Amino acid sequence: GPEKIYDMLLGARTADKITLHLKDGRAVHGALIFNPFKGTGRVINIDQEVSVDFSVEEIRDLKIS
């Protein structure tokens, strides 16, 4: 549920890179910025020059790489 995802995001804030699997089927790789007070964040992939904003409700799974 959302609480588990929230806890995983809090734990992943210090990771170098993560992979975020969103409910719409996208997978995003990169560095994590997470605002626990708003429940929103951004994954930034410097290599691909892409950043994706997300909210906790949009996340299906999270892997630390």
Tell me the per-residue pLDDT of 5-40, one tens digit each, with 9 for 90 and over: 999 999 998 899 999 999 999 999 999 999 999 999
* 13/60 Cα distance (integer angstroms): 17
* 48/11 Cα distance (integer angstroms): 25
Q: Give whole-number Cα distances, 15 to 6, 10, 41, 62, in Å.
A: 15, 10, 14, 12
The pLDDT value given to residue 1: 78
The pLDDT value given to residue 8: 95
